[in-house]
Amino acid sequence: MSEMTKEEASARINELKAELAKNSYLYYVQDMPTITDAEYDGMMRQLRELEAAYPELVTPDSPTQHVGGYAKPGFTEVHHITPLLSLANAFSPEEMEEFDRRVREGLPKDARVEYVVEPKIDGLACSIIYENGRFVRAATRGDGNVGENVTENVRTIQNIPKVLKPVPGVEMPELLDVRGEVYMPRHAFLKLNEERIENGEAEFANPRNAAAGSLRQLDPRVTAKRSLAFFAYGIGTGALPTHNESMDRLQQYGFTTTEGRTKVSTIQEANELIRKHGERRASLGYDTDGVVVKVNAVWQQNLLGATGKDPRWAMAYKFPPEQAETTLRDIVIQVGRTGVLTPTAVLDPVRLSGSTISRATLHNEDFIAEKDIRIGDRVIINKAAEIIPEVLRVAVEKRTGQEKVFHMPEHCPECGWPVERKNGEAAVRCTNPHCPALGREGLIHFTSRDAMNIDGCGPAVLNQLQETGLVKDPGDLYLLTVEDLMQLDRMGEKSANNLVRAIAASKEQSLDKLLFALGIRHVGAKVARTLALRYGTMDELARATQSELSAIPDIGPVIAESVVTYFGDPGNRDYIERLKELGLNMKMLGTAASNENHPFFGKTMVFTGTMPTLDRATAQTMAQEVGAKVTSSVSRKTDYVVAGADPGSKYTKAQQLGVTIIDEAEFRRLLGNS
């Protein structure tokens, strides 16, 4: 870090903050992580080191200054009674000893320190409130101060007491805030993924994502079917003098607490317990990604305090990603819905993180070249207990000379057309606009959960529909009859009726779902929602100009060009008209499109400065959801400027132009979200 200039450090800090914010959103809100925990932790560690070296570059919006997480749209917000903090991470016994040194330096010299060691459950943190012994509310961590109200969903979890058991000689507390982890047992996770495969749905990557996705269902009946469970790990309000006593009391009240909880007197004892847990964690019925070490005495916890996002009295020891060695037998090519050719490694089956792995992603030809991966290599694969397996590195020292260098094909393996790779892109694409793979993968994408969500219309069914000629594009799905479907293998009358109903129901999906289903290049689920919220209808979006789209936060010129190109194609316009004639909804439902009377509807708004509780992206989304147009610059056409601390030049320009300036409190009041 010392070789960096201040300017270089500032640029790297901004780059890290952007990457961490993006991946935090994918992890906490979308439950769809794209990097490993180890990669995320590595970026966070580098950011901490840079900010330590250049403290003047630390800003309030840095992820080192607040808990990662967001309140997901669709749930009401809940303000935690006391912050639900995250934990700092350690990765070696030496770092745990450094934690111990800091603890002892922060306490009186004669203080006797005890620690409690317990496994770190890989799930979703949750706060459950009891009043006079009765369950009244549950909320996710969110950003640590504000979470999602998931009360009805948590009520469905069987091992959470709805009424606390009386403890002889102990008065029932008026208020008790129980903190813990909602998780999915491994057997339930395997069963759920088997069901999803049968239904043609995408598998959950790991039990943590399955638990998060299940807890955040808008329909509690879905959550109830997912076999979630809960481990209590602490008390936010109503704690006893020591952590160990609090945990014993929670057990008396009827909670399941973390297994293997042990009190120790030295950090060396804690490190030994960490080592033993690392050896046995694969045999547990649930996923753990580390061990938590906590100061036992609550008065010592209070004296040590917190850094702003992490308590100084606790540390999470994170286990390294699990790895395995195997032989890479072949590299095969899969063609995706946008024509991208993706190389996949075919491996000798090997056990990793509790499952048998026979394939691993190789991403693109640059990835293969960078790691010098060859057919026949002995390779180390890394799953990190939660992400699709990938090749971490090649065991070059084990090469025999018989390995073969891989080259991407010059022609598409599906249709034989030439492939191309554009300058500045890593992707190799099929040049045939009518490639069979595009149609097949496009159909799978169109019917998927995050798109039109047509239950029972999985890849196996879609393949048969294509092979029989019943379906050539997604529009044909809406012409299918029960009699058509009963021609398919293993499709009885009941299943056919169910599928016809599911297809008909998908017509009512909101505009954002349809936009995502269309498969417009660079338009993922989040971008589709942003566009749908901004324009309200398909026709309005189709008329948008590239410059207008580029000005929308989170869109930019690349996405804007892709959207304009898509709607400028006569074939695409005809396709959308056909979907409209078939009865598919072309409006955004339940948000901006139905808020004509809201004070922000149709208004142009600019956000600037640092607000007390909302990050800018969340505030902008809240405004867009009631029909506001959010822009990045102030002009005479601006209706509101929402200003936080250190607002800068936008605030000054708004004053000069006479634009209405409001703070976060007034923004929330007008929004109706106090």
354-364 b/e with 16+ CB inside 10 Å = b?
beebeebbbbb
- When pLDDT is averaged across residues 9-23 and rounded to a whole number, the result is 81
Which CATH superfamily includes the segment(s) 436-506? 5' to 3' exonuclease, C-terminal subdomain (1.10.150.20)
Find the range with the poorest average confidence among 11-20, 134-143, 362-371, 619-628: 619-628
At 301, list the tokens: 């916890």
Under 8 Å between Cβ of 126 and 184: no
DSSP string, 274-290: HHHHHHHGGGSSS-EEE
* pLDDT for res 347: 95
Fold of 6-65: Helix Hairpins (1.10.287)
Q: Give 67's pLDDT tier (boundaries 50, 70, 90).
A: very low
Domain 511-581 has CATH 1.10.150.20: yes
Instruction: For 412, list phi and psi in degrees, rounded to 5.
Output: -65, 130
Residue 592 pLDDT:
43
The pLDDT, as a whole number, for residue 674 is 41
Q: Which two tokens stand for residue 377?
A: 């290599």
At 340 the pLDDT is: 87
| Structure confidence by residue, pLDDT tens digits, 217-257 | 777 777 877 889 999 999 988 889 999 999 999 999 999 99
Burial (CB < 10 A; 0-12, 13-18, 19+), residue 397, is exposed
List phi, psi (to 5°) of 293.
-115, 125
The torsion defined by the Cα of 497, 499, 504 and 507, in degrees rounded to 10, comes to 170
Rounded-to-integer distance, Cα 465 and Cα 211, Å: 33
Q: What is the CATH number of domain 323-420?
A: 2.40.50.140
> Residue 124's CB: how many other CB atoms inside 10 A?
26
Residue type, 55: P
What is the pLDDT at residue 198?
Answer: 54
Say what the pLDDT of residue 36 is. Answer: 66
- In angstroms and rounded to an integer, the radius of gyration of the C-alpha atoms of the chain is 27
When pLDDT is cut at 50, 70 and 90, the band that residue 556 belongs to is: confident
Output the pLDDT for position 69.
47
**What residues are labeled active site?**
120
Q: Return the sign of the alpha-carbon dihedral for residues 202, 206, 209, 212.
A: positive
pLDDT per residue as tens digits for the range 557-597: 888 999 999 999 888 899 999 999 999 999 987 554 456 67
Q: What is the mean pLDDT of residues 371-381?
A: 95
CA-CA distance, 158 to 224, in Å (whole number)?
Answer: 9
Kindly give the interhelix angle for 556-568 and 570-581, rounded to the nearest 10 degrees: 70
Dist CA 372 CA 380 (whole Å): 13
The percentage of residues in the chain with a pLDDT greater than 70, rounded to a whole number, is: 91
- The answer to whether 244 and 264 have CB atoms below 8 angstroms apart is no
**Structure confidence by residue, pLDDT tens digits, 604-643:** 899 988 887 776 767 877 787 777 888 778 888 899 999 9
Domains 436-506 and 511-581 share a fold: yes
* 328/258: higher pLDDT: 328
The CATH code for residues 77-318 is: 3.30.470.30
With cut-offs at 50, 70 and 90, classify the pLDDT of residue 295. very high
**pLDDT score for 209:** 81
Compute CA distances 542 → 187, 518, 553, 571, 591, whole Å.
47, 13, 18, 13, 19
pLDDT tens profile 200-216: 555 676 788 888 888 88
pLDDT digits (tens, 9 = 90+) for 448-466: 888 999 988 988 899 899 8
Backbone angles phi, psi at 201, to 5 degrees: -95, 160
The predicted structure's pLDDT at residue 386: 44
Distance between CA atoms of residues 445 and 337, nearest Å: 7
* Residue 309 predicted with pLDDT over 90: no
Would you list the domain boundaries of the chain? 6-65, 77-318, 323-420, 436-506, 511-581, 595-671
CATH superfamily entry for domain 595-671: BRCT domain (3.40.50.10190)
What is the DSSP secondary structure assignment for residue 397, as one 8-state letter? G
The answer to whether residues 91 and 320 touch, using CB atoms and an 8 Å cutoff, is: yes
Report the chain's mean pLDDT, rounded to a whole number.
Answer: 85
Contact 585, 624 (CB under 8 A): no
Residue 440 CA to residue 446 CA, distance in Å, equals: 10
Mean pLDDT throughout 4-9?
82
